[in-house]
Structure 1
Amino acid sequence: MDSNGLYLVLAIGAFCAGFIDAVVGGGGLVQIPALFAAFPSVQPAVLFGTNKVASIIGTTSAAIQYGRRVTIPWRIAIPGAVGALVGSWYGAKAVAYMPPTVLRPLILVLLILVAGYTFMRKDLGSISREGPHDFRATLTAAVIGLVLGFYDGFFGPGTGSFLIFLFIRFLGMDFLRASVTAKIVNVATNFAAIAYFANNVEILWKLGLLMAACNLCGAVVGSRTALRHGTGFVRKMFLAVVSVLIAKLAYDTLAAL
């Protein structure tokens, strides 16, 4: 495939990733494998950095779209974002010392547990059960941001889905509130990772910006679709994306044996 065809495929992949990310997260399921398939000989950190450039614009757009229709819980979102900034910086730094694929079996198990729990709890995320945004809730959000920020900077696929699940499970949010909060935290993780990678590797800026434009278009369509169809649609998409993530990680894990 020539360079024009390659860029076209990556642009389409970025649009699909933006759509998925805007609804439930998991756009890395599309974007990261596409980049690695297109550039198999390029240093992984370069491709992770390029992926973050492609993702941050779409994630920011989705957060803005949700914020116009859904009240943002800033007392949860800000501590989560601060924790994510720190975690993602060190996660990106860890890529240089340990291959991210070592996490694959653990992430596979966690995704299976998340999918099973969400499927069995039919009411999970359908109704908001948020308590007061007190110190405990703020600390919980910061810890979630820190841990998932590290994971996103280090590996990435499924970060948005994990954030949504944890905000629902531990803070009582519904799917829409959890999704808008996850978007804000995800912007922070992407920003920190880009800052680290930009100072340490040669990011493919032209490709990253092209993919960012396509990711943005996908994010606009995805967020509008989610807002139009509500929490029921987001829950179904969540289960679908997590199921595909499980299948992909299971395949990769078995192939590596």
Structure 2
Amino acid sequence: MELTLEIITILFFVAGLAGFIDAMAGGGGLITLPALLAAGVPPTQALATNKLQSSFGSFSASWYFVRNGIVSIKEMRLAIGCTFIGSAIGAEAVQYIDAGLLTSLIPVLLVAISLYFLLMPKTKAQTGQAKMSQAMFALCVGGGVGFYDGFFGPGTGSIFTVCFVALGHFSLVEATARTKVLNFTSNIAALLFFILAGLPVWELGLVMAVGGFIGAQLGAKVVVTKGQKWIRPLVITMSMLMAIKLLWQEHAQSVLSLFS
């Protein structure tokens, strides 16, 4: 793998676009991971390098939301702890468990998430009491989705967001802000395992991290200023694209064989 200035520059801007989209709706990995593979980075190193750069993007968005008072780290400390532990366990478990079942189930879940956001009432905030206590939400959603992110990953942001809206009764803006905090947490936990294994391509990952950081700052700003008007269609679009991508990866061979 030869890293030319042209490749590095292209990946910098790719990461910036991915960071912008990811801050609002998740799914930035749909853009960066294929770009890394196209640049000639081996699959395991591409996954690790993508996690490295996306950690900076999710930190950037989280920092923006915390700095602007949209989310409180203190209020989320239990969910952060459960998410970190869940993601660490998932990153370890993926070495021993077949991910085939998840590959089949996640596209269905992503389509369901798209339909939820498509059909949900266009209100500024959800009404009524949260359906779970903070401790139960932290354990079930933080720990469970954190485990999934460390184990597999696609659609994590969308899953977190729909849980915050449906179970926590947060507005879409508040849910997106909280999602980024937990996304950053699960990213860091999984990244530690990749670093210990010596997998990230540091030069490329850090250059992309700068692009992702800048893009995520801009995306987070759009969330605050434009709110639900932009988030809802992007969550729907990115969830559907992730579902299509996963279904294609799973069934591409069968489809192509029909035409051969």
Q: Which amino acid aligns with 1:127?
A: A
**What is the CA–CA distance in structure 2 between the aligned matches of 1:54 and 1:214, rounded to whole Å?**
9
Matching of residue 220 in structure 1 with residue 217 in structure 2:
yes
SS state of the match for residue 171, structure 1? Answer: coil
TM-score scaled by length of structure 1: 0.88
C-alpha distance in structure 1 between counterparts of 2:99 and 2:218, whole Å: 31
Question: TM-score if structure 2 supplies the norm length?
Answer: 0.87
Whole-angstrom CA distance in 1 between matches of 2:67 and 2:244: 35
Gaps of 5+ in 1: none
Deviations for 1:74-126, whole angstroms, at most 9, x for unmatched residues?
Answer: 46522221111111112212332346465222110101111112212233x63
Correspondence for 1:59: 58
Q: Which residue of 1 is the match for residue 243 of structure 2?
A: 246
What aligned pairs does 1:26-175 form with structure 2 within 5 A after superposition? 26-39=27-40, 42=42, 44=44, 46-74=45-73, 77-98=76-97, 100=99, 102-123=101-122, 126-129=124-127, 131=129, 136-175=133-172
Residues 1:71 and 1:2: Cα distance change in structure 2 (over 3 Å): closer
How far off is 1:35 after superposition? Answer: 2.1
Distance in 2 separating the partners of 1:130 and 1:21: 29
Q: Could you tell me which residue of structure 1 aligns to residue 203 of structure 2?
A: 206
Aligned with residue 179 of structure 2, among 182, 198, 201: 182
Separation (CA, whole Å) in 2 of partners of 1:218 and 1:157: 20
User: Do the aligned residues in 2 keep the contact of 1:22 with 1:223 (CA within 8 Å)?
Assistant: yes
Q: CA deviation at 1:131?
A: 3.4
Q: List per-residue Cα deviations over 1:130-174 (Å, max 9, x = no partner).
A: 6379x8232213321111111111222221111111111111011
* Alpha-carbon separation, structure 2, partners of 1:204 and 1:101: 27
Per the alignment, residue 20 of structure 2 pairs with: 19
Q: Distance in 1 between matches of 2:208 and 2:3?
A: 14
Matches of 2:194 and 2:17, distance apart in 1: 24
More helix by share: 1
The yes-or-no answer on 1:237 pairing with 2:252 is no
The total of aligned residue pairs comes to 253
Instruction: Pick closer, same or farther for the CA change 1:199–1:73 going to 2, 3 Å.
Output: same
> Is the alpha carbon distance of 1:196 and 1:21 closer, same or farther for their aligned partners in structure 2, counting shifts above 3 Å?
same
What do the CA deviations read for 1:27-65 (whole angstroms, capped 9, x no partner)?
A: 11112222233336x252x32221111011111111121
Distance (Å, rounded) in 1 between the aligned partners of 2:162 and 2:106: 14
Query: In 2, distance between residues paired with 1:115 and 1:68?
Result: 30
Unaligned runs of 5+ in 2: 255-260
| Equivalent-residue separation in structure 2 for 1:248 and 1:3 (angstroms) | 27
Deviations 1:166-198 (A, max 9, x none): 111111011111111111111111111111111
One-letter code aligned to 2:124: S
